[in-house]
Amino acid sequence: MHNLCFYTCYFGGDYNYSNLIPPIPSMQYDCYYFTNNVNTFKKLENTKWKCVFLDNIPIYNDPVLDTMNTKELRACPHHFEILNEYDYICWFDTKLELFENVILNYVDELKYDNDKTICLSIHPFSSKYTSVWDEYNTAMQYPRYALQSNMYKKYIEKKLSEGYSEKINIFFCGGFSIRKKCEKTNEYNEFWFENIKECGIEDQISLQFVQQKFNEIIIPINCSDVWKYFFS
């Protein structure tokens, strides 16, 4: 057995497409669902999830503000005491169903590889994305992301001026990760969170720059090996 947990979250009002309760990913490891929504919390009481209600996080019913509320938990789980009890943590979006047996194999890989501390899944449409501008253009097709279009553009241009490349060798998803508890992972976490705050809610834009700095600690995983959309 590993000292491992799984976690996901939903912050916001009742009427949001991410307000979902996915299949619990494991019956042998702790699985946490963080929320600030009372109705979602009540639904979770009838499941095997360990629900954590965060009443200090407000509900705005705003697509940008509610989404931004999720980012610290998503990027910096080490900021949350309950998650700091584990040596390995697996984050996933509420829209995903995980394949536990494969994930445990990757936890083993992290355990015995001193150089690797994070597993990220490769985006299912990665072949279509060769530049960060491809992700930007795709994001503009979604109303909630388009609200911050100028913020994304300013961020991308700044990162390029700092010497980062617009080219994407591996296009990673922000919706899944396995992390090993260590200082290098915390450095990655903090750097991504700072970049999210500067870039905006479309965190897959910032992730493509963050991974350039931390590529030596990342194990890429084919997304179909570890998760699927449970409602498809």
Q: pLDDT tens digits, residue range 68-82?
A: 999 999 999 999 999
Domain of 111, CATH number, reads: 3.90.550
Check: CB of residue 177 under 8 Å from CB of residue 93.
no
Beta bridge partners, 88, equal: 4, 180
Interval 98-109 mean pLDDT: 97
Report DSSP letters for 105-174, one per residue.
Answer: HHHHHHHH-TT--EEEEEPTTGGG-SBHHHHHHHHTTSHHHHTTHHHHHHHHHHHHHTT--SB-SS-EEE
Alpha carbon distances (Å) from 200 to 34, 66, 112, 128, 151: 21, 12, 35, 22, 7
Average pLDDT on 21-33 reads: 97
Phi and psi at residue 99, to the nearest 5°: -105, 95
* Sequence-separated (6 or more) residues with CB below 8 Å from residue 81: none
Q: What average pLDDT score do residues 122-136 get?
A: 89
Q: How confident is the model at residue 232 (pLDDT cuts 50, 70, 90)?
A: low
Which residues constitute the domain of residue 16?
4-229
Contact indicator for 102, 227 with CB cutoff of 8 Å: no
Q: In the chain, how many domains are there?
A: 1
- pTM exceeds 0.85 for this model: yes
Question: In angstroms, rounded to a whole number, what is the distance separating the alpha carbons of residues 150 and 41?
Answer: 35
Query: What own/partner pairs with CB < 8 Å and gap ≥ 24 does 126-130 have?
Result: 126/170, 126/171, 129/168, 129/171, 130/167, 130/168
What's the pLDDT tens digit per position in 176-195? 999 999 999 999 999 999 99
DSSP character at residue 58: P
Q: Dihedral sign for Cα 18, 21, 26, 28, please.
A: positive
